[in-house]
A and B are shown apart, each in its own frame.
Chain A
Amino acid sequence: MGKSSKDKRDLYYRKAKEEGWRARSAFKLLQLNEQFQLFKGVRRVVDLCAAPGSWSQVLSREIYQKAKLEDTKLESYIEPKLVAVDLQPMSPIEGVTTIQADITHPRTMNKILSVFGGEKADFVCSDGAPDVTGLHDLDEYIQAQLILSALQLTCCILKEGGTFVAKIFRGRDIDLMYSQLGFLFEKVVCAKPRSSRGTSLESFIVCIGYKPRLGWKPTLELDKSTEEFFQNSGIGRAQLNKNDLSFPLEERIIAPFIACGDLSSYDSDATYTLDKNLERLSLDPVQMPTAPPYKTALEMKRRGNMQLAVRKK
C-alpha cells in the first residue's frame, strides 16, 4: 500500500491505514468471518501466501488476542497457534509464527506441523494471487495452480471437518474448481465480501467440513507437480492417459454465491467524499511495499540510461 490519492477512491484503503492493517484485504477476512463464523473454536491456523500479513493480523487479533481473555487454567483451554507462510519476508506479528518458505515443499509442511505439536490445523486460508499477465486464460491457470498448491498442503495438514478459504477469480473455468473442491469438503460456497470491489473478478472460496478422500493418502513430495499430487484423488481432475490423448471433459458445477458483510458497511465501489481536513492529511502506509523486480529498470530510466533507438557513433 503506497501513499497515494487512492485514499479517496477507496474507503477501505484509507480505513486500513487508519486502523493499522497492512492491506485493505484485512476487511475481506473480517467480513468473511462475520458471515461464516470461521474463527469459532479455531485454535490452529495456517495463513498461506501471507505477506504483507494483513490476514495474519486479523487472525492474531481475532484468535490470539481473544484467547488471552480466556481462563488458561481450564482443562478445555488450548493455546492458539498461528502460522504464516510466504516466500517473501514478513515483519513479525504478535502470536504468529512466520515461516519464509515455499508452500509446495514437504519441509514447510513439517515445520507447520511441528509448531502445532504434531496436531492438524483447524483452519487454512490463502489470500495469494500471482501477478497477472493480461492473458486471461494463463492468469486463471496460474491462480488455479496457486490454489491447488495451497490445497495440496491443506489436504496434508487440515483436520477432518476443518475449513479452507482461498482467493479465487471467477473466470471461465471456476466451475471446474468448484466441482473438484466439492469432493473434498462438505460445503463449498463462493463468497464476495463487500470490501472486495464489485468490478473485480475476485471472490473467495469458502470450503467447510474437510472430508479426506477414502483410500487416498495425500503426500507432499519434492519434485512432484500438483497434477501428480492429485492423481488418484478422485476429485474429478482429468487424468493423463498416455495411450489416448483425446482429453475428456471435466465436470462443472456452480457453487452457491453469498455476498457477505453488512449492507450498511462501506461500499468498495463507491466514491466517498472525505472531510476537507482529512483530505489534506495523507496517511503513510502501514508497511512500505517490497522492491519490485524491475527496480533496476526504473532507476536506469530515472537516470536517463535507458536506451532509445538512437544510433550512437
Chain B
Amino acid sequence: MNAHLQPTENGDNSSPILRPLSHYGPVVACRFYKEFVLASNGPNLKIYRYLEDELVLTKRIFKENKIHGIAISHDLTRFALYGSRSFTVVYGEKELFDEKFDHLQLGVNDWIKSMEFSYDDKVVYLLTAHNVVFTVDLGTLKIIDEKSFKEKSILYSGSIQVLSQEKVLIAAGTISGGVFVWDLFENKLIRNLVGHEGAIFDVKISNDGNYCASCSDDRSVKIWDLSTGSNLATGWGHNSRIWNLCWYDNNKKIFSQSEDCTSRSWIYHEDNDLLYCEAVYETNLGKHIWCGDVNDDFKIAVTGGADGRLMLINLKSLEPSLNPSFQNNCWKKQFSMDVISELTKVEIEKNEIFKNYVDLNNNSIVCITSKGKVFILKDNYSKWEFLYQDLLYDNYSLTNYFKEENLVTFTSSKGTISALKFDDNSGLSKKVTIKINNLKGKITNVLTTKKNDENFLMFMESPNPKDGFMLIEANFELTTEPIITSLGKPETLFVLTCLAYDITNNWLLVGSRHTTFVLYDLDTGKMLNVWKKFCPGDTITSMSIIDSSYGKVILMMTVRDGLYMYLEIRKDPVGNILTKIIQNNRIQRGFLEGGFLNHKKELILYGFKSHTFFLWNETRQFEIFKEICGGAHRIWNFVINDCANDNYKFIYNKSAHLVIRNTGNAIFKDNCLDNGTHGREIRNVTILSNYTRKNGGKLFISGAEDTCVRLSEILPNGEVNNFWSLRRHVSGLQKTKFIKSEKDEKVFYCITTAAREEFFLWEIIDHPILGPLINCYATLEPSSAEPDLRIMDFDTLPIYNSKQELQGYLILNVYSDSSIKIFEFNLNKRRFELLIEDRYTTCCLWDTRFILKNGKLFVMVGATDGYISIWDITFEISDIRKENIQCLQKLLIRQQIHQSGIKTHTLIQHPYDYNILDLVTGGDDNALVNTRLVFSEISNNITLEIKSFKENAASSTITSSTLIPSYKNGKYAKIIVTSVDQRLRVWRIDYHLDSTSNDGELVCEDCAYTTVADTGCSDVCLIEDKQNINSKCIALIGGAGLSCWEITS
C-alpha cells in the first residue's frame, strides 16, 4: 500500500514545490478583541482592525485542523485557539501579532467543543465532545484535572461559563434533544433541560449564571431559568437549523446565526413565553452563517459564514434616535397629519394626505398635500412651517426636485409649473411660475434631470397623441426665461418612467413601461432610435449614463422585475444607432426600483422585497440598509445624503404618517471585512490565462453549488477580488471553461453548464473605466420542455474562415443520460446547429475532449464505468452540409482504465513525437493512470498502452488534474492533481528522446494539504509578478472555499 507522498508535516513551508498564497473559505469562529476582530479561516487566524476595515495579519495556527473556536482570557492577555482535536495557547499580544511566531501544536484525543480561561486566568478548561472537561495548567501545559458528568455520549454542542473562581458551569447539548447543565467543581448535575427535539446545535449560559439559551434541529431558540429549570420562552422564525447563539444587552437579548443565512436578534419579555424576534440580518450568502459575536459596549456584531465572508452589523440601527440632529446621525421620525396641523395651526381637511415630499440639502423637507398646501420641515427636521396653499394643485400635483440646488417644482395637470428655490437656511428665496400653453391633454407625468451646472431639464408627457413630449430647459437660479420645445413621440405604447441625459453628446434617453425606451438628439430635436420591448420584463425603473464619449454612451438600466443591464449605445459614421448589451444580470430580491454607482464604482441597487425597502451593494453582494415600510405600494422617496459614507434617507407614507428614516454615516469604514467567495461548494474554476489586467491580475470565472457564476480577478499575491455574481443558472454548476477567443481582440468567451441542460456562452470585456463586464451572449436551448439532464462536460474547437477570422465553435457536450452531441455555433448569428448526436451506453458521461491529430478529428469520452472511448468523426464533420443529423460511426478505442468513474483527464503532447499523446486520467477509484495514445499517420488507427498506473494515487476520489504550463515544452511535463482527501499533488511525467522504459512514468513530486474540503477543481496559469522578472505559476483550488497556491519550479 504505497500512499504517494503523505503531506509534509509542516503543512506549508516545507513543501518543495507547492506554496500557499491565500485562502478564502468558511469562517467558523469570530471574536471581538479590543479594536480588532479575530476570525478563523481554515487553519489560519485572521486579525482585522474593524473600524478601519484593515486586515492586520493572516497566520497559520494549526498544521491541518481548522480553528473552530477562540477564547480570550479575562485580563485580555492570553488567547486559546482550538478546533477538532487541536488547540494552542497564545501568550500576549506580542505573540498574537507576530506573523512568524511558531505556535505550540497541542491536542487531546477528542474533538474540542469549547475552551475558556479560569476566573484567575491561571488555567484553561477544555470541554470535549464526550462531555469531559480537562483543566490545563497554563504554566506547565499539563492536564491537572479531568472531570466528566454521567453520560459520555457524543455532544453536538457545549460551552463553559466561568462565573467565579469557585463556580464554573458546563452546558452540554446532546445529539437528541437533551441539555445537561452541570457544575464543574461540585461535579453535579444542575439541570437536565428537556423540551427541544433533535440535536442541540448550541447552548450558552448567561454570564450571570441565571439563564441558559439553546437551539436545536427543531429550529427554535429556547431560554431557560436555571434556578427552576423551566423553559421561559421559545423563539420561532429561523427557516433552517440554528448554529450559534450569544447573549447580549445584560442578558436580555440573544443574537443567533443560522443555516438559513440570517442572523436574528431576539428579546425576552418577562411573562411572555414567545421569544420576540426584533431584527433579521441577511449578511452572508449561500448556505450557513456559522458564527457570530457581539460587542456589548458598542452594540455591534460580527458574523462569519460558509461564504468566507465576515460582516459587521450595527445593532444600534435597530433603535434609531427619535430626535434628529444632523444627517450624519441615525434617526427616525414620524408625523401624522394631525400633528402637523397642530404644530402649524393650519387646518387639514378630512382625507387630505401628503402627495409628495422631497429632501433638500439645507436639512429640510418640503411637502405638498392633496389640497395644494405646501409645508416645510426645517431647522434640522424639528420645526414645521406652512408656506402657502395653491388650489391649482388641488387633488393633482407632480413633484420634482434637485436636492443639491435646493430647488422644488410642482406641476399641475394643466401644465403650470411652480418652481421654488430655497436658501441655505430653508427660507423660500424665489418662486417662479412657468406655463405650458397649447396642451391638448392633461399632464400625466413629469421627469427632471440635471443638464449641466447651470441648467436643468423637465420632460412632460400628456397621453393625448396630438401633444408631443414637452421639454423645458431652465436654470437653477430661476433667473432666465425657460426654453420650451416639443419632441416627437414614438409610435408605440409609451408610458414615461425615467430619464437620463448625456452631456457629451447632448442626448436624452427616455424610458417607459414595457421595457421600451427612446433616444433624442437635443442638438437637432430628433428622435434617433426607439427600442420597443427591448428585454423581458415590464417597467424600466431607472436609467443613468455611466460612461460616455463622442458618439457613444454606456447606459445603466434597471427593470422592475429585477433585471439590470449595461447597454452600449453607439452612433456609427452613417448615423445608425447600434446597441449592445455588455452586462446583464438580475437580482432575486423583489422589485428593483433603481441603482447607481457609488464612489468606488460599486453598483448599488434599491427596491422593495415584500414589506421592506432595501439598499443592496450588488458588486459585493450585501445589504446596506433596509426599512420595514410596508411594501412598494406607497409614496416614497429615496435620498442619497452622502454616498461615500453610506448615508441615506428614506421617506415614506405609512398608515397616515409621514416617516423619515435617516441612516446617518456608517459607523464602519466598510460593513464587509472580508468578501469571501461562493456561499456553497465551488464546482469549477477557469482562469483567462492569455490576458493580463493593468494591475497584473488575471480574470477567472468560478461556478458553484449555489448556482452562481462569479467573475473575479486573482492578483500575483493571491488576493481575489470579485466583480460580478451572475444568477442566470437555476441549478448547481457542473463545468465552466474559457474558450479560445480571437487573437488581439479584448473580447473573451466562457461557457458554463449545469443541470437542467443549462448551457450559457458568456462574453467578457475589460472596460477601461467600468472594469470587467460579462454578458450572457448565447444560450443553447434544452432538448425538452422539462429538462432534467445534466451537461457534465464539454469541449470546443474554434472555426475560422479563410481570412483566419473566428466564425464560431464546434461544441461537444456530454450528458448524464450518456448522450454525446456536437453542435456548430455561429458567433454572429448566435445560433447552435446540431451536427452529431449519439449515445454511449446508458451510463453517465463525466469527461470529454476533441482531439485533432494529422488533420483528423476525434472525440474522446470518459464515463462512470471507467472506460475511455474514442471515435473518429473526421468524415461526419467534413461532410456536414447533409440534411440529417449524424451518428458516431467509427469507434476506435473502447478500453476500461479505471474501476469506476473517470473524474478528470489531462492530455499531454509527447515533446519528441508528434503522434503520441499521453492521457492522464484520475478516477473515483483513487487511481491515476497515464495511458499512451499513438496515432498512426498511415492508417486510421490509434494504439493504446498503459504507461503508468498508480493505484493509490490518493486516499480518496481524484477530482481534477491540470497541466502546469511552465513545464509544457521540457523533457518532462507536470500536472497538479486534487482529491477529496484534501491533498494537492504535483506529478511529473518524464520524457526521453530514445524511448526508454520509464518514458511516461508518473512520479509524485510533492504533496500538500489543503484546507479546502470537498476539493473538487483546479486551474493553473502563469502570472507576471512585478517584483520578479520571471513570471510565476499559480494554481486556484476550489471546493468548500477557494485557495491560491504558487507552484515553484
Q: List the interface of chain A (C-beta within 8 A of B).
A: 8-9, 87, 102, 104, 130-131, 133-138, 141-142, 145, 170-172, 174-175, 178, 192, 194, 198, 201, 223-228, 237-240, 242-247, 249, 252-259, 263, 266-267, 269-273, 292-294, 296-297, 300-301, 305-311
Within the complex, which residue of A242, A254, A307 is in contact with B1, where a contact is CB–CB below 8 Å?
A254
**B219 x A294 contact (CB < 8 A):** yes
Q: Which residues of A contact B290 (CB under 8 A)?
A: 135
The answer to whether A198 and B277 touch (CB under 8 A), given A270-B818, A272-B842, A310-B628, is no
Q: Which residues of B contact A255 (CB under 8 A)?
A: 1
**A267 x B864 contact (CB < 8 A):** yes
**B788 x A271 contact (CB < 8 A):** yes
A143 to B142, CA, bound (A): 30
CB interface residues, B 1026-1044, toward A, < 8 Å: 1040
Chain B nearest CB: distance from A17 CB in Å?
A: 18
Q: Which residues of B contact A131 (CB under 8 A)?
A: 199, 217
The 9 lowest CB-CB distance pairs between A and B, nearest first, are A293-B198, A247-B107, A136-B1013, A267-B843, A269-B844, A242-B143, A225-B130, A297-B219, A259-B900
Determine chain A's interface SS by DSSP, over half rule. Answer: loop
**B154 x A297 contact (CB < 8 A):** no
**A245 x B611 contact (CB < 8 A):** no
**B788 x A8 contact (CB < 8 A):** yes
Q: Which residues of A contact B109 (CB under 8 A)?
A: 227, 237-240, 247
The answer to whether A192 and B900 touch (CB under 8 A), given A271-B790, A294-B198, is yes
Considering only CB atoms, which chain B residue lies closest to A251 in the complex? B6
**B980 x A227 contact (CB < 8 A):** no
Considering only CB atoms, which chain A residue lies closest to B952 in the complex? A254
A311 to B659, CA, bound (A): 15
Digitize B288-329: 1 where CB-to-A-CB distance is under 8 Å, 0 elsewhere. Answer: 101000000000000000100000000000000000000000
Chain A nearest CB: distance from B289 CB in Å?
A: 11
B28 on the A face (CB < 8 A): yes
B961 on the A face (CB < 8 A): no
Chain A nearest CB: distance from B784 CB in Å?
A: 10
Q: Which residues of B contact A242 (CB under 8 A)?
A: 134, 142-143, 146
Other than the known A135-B28, A254-B954, A307-B277, what 20 A-B pairs have Cβ atoms closer than 8 Å? A130-B175, A131-B217, A133-B201, A137-B83, A138-B111, A141-B111, A198-B846, A227-B110, A245-B136, A246-B105, A252-B6, A255-B1, A257-B925, A257-B951, A269-B864, A271-B788, A271-B789, A297-B219, A307-B276, A311-B278
Q: Which residues of A contact B6 (CB under 8 A)?
A: 252
Within the complex, which residue of A9, A137, A225, A243 is in contact with B142, where a contact is CB–CB below 8 Å?
A243
Within the complex, which residue of A142, A201, A224, A292 is in contact with B154, where a contact is CB–CB below 8 Å?
A142
A198 to B28, CA, bound (A): 29
A301 to B982, CA, bound (A): 39
Interface residue count on the B side (C-beta < 8 Å):
104
Q: Which residues of B contact A246 (CB under 8 A)?
A: 104-107
B837 on the A face (CB < 8 A): no
The answer to whether A223 and B151 touch (CB under 8 A), given A135-B28, A245-B107, A296-B218, is yes
**A198 x B981 contact (CB < 8 A):** no
Q: Which residues of A contact B83 (CB under 8 A)?
A: 137
**A270 x B899 contact (CB < 8 A):** no
Digitize B749-782: 1 where CB-to-A-CB distance is under 8 Å, 0 elsewhere. Answer: 0000000000000000000000000000000000
B279 on the A face (CB < 8 A): yes
**B142 x A259 contact (CB < 8 A):** no
Which of A9, A134, A170, A256 has its CB near the most chain B CB atoms (within 10 A)? A134
Digitize B70-104: 1 where CB-to-A-CB distance is under 8 Å, 0 elsewhere. Answer: 00000000000001111000000000000000001
Q: Which residues of B contact A228 (CB under 8 A)?
A: 152
Task: Pull 12 A–B residue pairs with CB atoms less than 8 Å apart, ordered by A.
Answer: A131-B199, A141-B129, A170-B955, A174-B955, A198-B864, A239-B109, A242-B143, A245-B141, A246-B104, A247-B86, A259-B900, A297-B220
Q: Which residues of B contact A243 (CB under 8 A)?
A: 142-143
B335 on the A face (CB < 8 A): no
Chain B nearest CB: distance from A235 CB in Å?
A: 13
**A223 x B152 contact (CB < 8 A):** yes
B562 on the A face (CB < 8 A): no
The answer to whether A254 and B236 touch (CB under 8 A), given A246-B105, A247-B85, is no
Q: Which residues of A contact B236 (CB under 8 A)?
A: 296-297, 300, 305-307
B197 on the A face (CB < 8 A): yes
The answer to whether A252 and B3 touch (CB under 8 A), given A136-B1040, A192-B924, is yes
Q: Which residues of A contact B903 (CB under 8 A)?
A: 198
B216 on the A face (CB < 8 A): yes
**B956 x A201 contact (CB < 8 A):** yes
Considering only CB atoms, which chain A residue lies closest to B982 in the complex? A172
A306 to B237, CA, bound (A): 5
Considering only CB atoms, which chain B residue lies closest to A223 in the complex? B152
A177 to B217, CA, bound (A): 28
**A311 x B628 contact (CB < 8 A):** yes
A310 to B143, CA, bound (A): 50
Within the complex, which residue of B3, B66, B152, B1013 is in contact with A171, where a contact is CB–CB below 8 Å?
B1013
Chain A nearest CB: distance from B657 CB in Å?
A: 13
**A170 x B816 contact (CB < 8 A):** no
Chain B nearest CB: distance from A242 CB in Å?
A: 4
Q: Which residues of A contact B956 (CB under 8 A)?
A: 170-171, 174, 201
**B1 x A293 contact (CB < 8 A):** no
Within the complex, which residue of A130, A133, A245, A258 is in contact with B106, where a contact is CB–CB below 8 Å?
A245
Chain A nearest CB: distance from B1043 CB in Å?
A: 14
Within the complex, which residue of B198, B280, B288, B982 is in contact with A308, where a contact is CB–CB below 8 Å?
B280
Digitize B871-906: 1 where CB-to-A-CB distance is under 8 Å, 0 elsewhere. Answer: 000000000000000000000000000011101000
**B197 x A293 contact (CB < 8 A):** yes
Within the complex, which residue of B26, B107, B817, B924 is in contact with A272, where a contact is CB–CB below 8 Å?
B817
A108 to B220, CA, bound (A): 32
A282 to B9, CA, bound (A): 54
B535 on the A face (CB < 8 A): no
A38 to B219, CA, bound (A): 42
**A296 x B130 contact (CB < 8 A):** no
**B218 x A198 contact (CB < 8 A):** no
**A269 x B85 contact (CB < 8 A):** no
Q: Which residues of B contact A293 (CB under 8 A)?
A: 177, 196-199, 216-218
Q: Which residues of A contact B217 (CB under 8 A)?
A: 131, 292-294
A134 to B257, CA, bound (A): 14
Q: Which residues of A contact B264 (CB under 8 A)?
A: 309
The answer to whether A256 and B951 touch (CB under 8 A), given A9-B788, A171-B1013, A270-B816, is yes
CB interface residues, B 52-73, toward A, < 8 Å: 64-66, 68
Which of A178, A238, A267, A305 has its CB near the most chain B CB atoms (within 10 A)? A267
Considering only CB atoms, which chain A residue lies closest to B901 in the complex? A198
**A301 x B815 contact (CB < 8 A):** no
Q: Which residues of B contact A138 (CB under 8 A)?
A: 68, 111
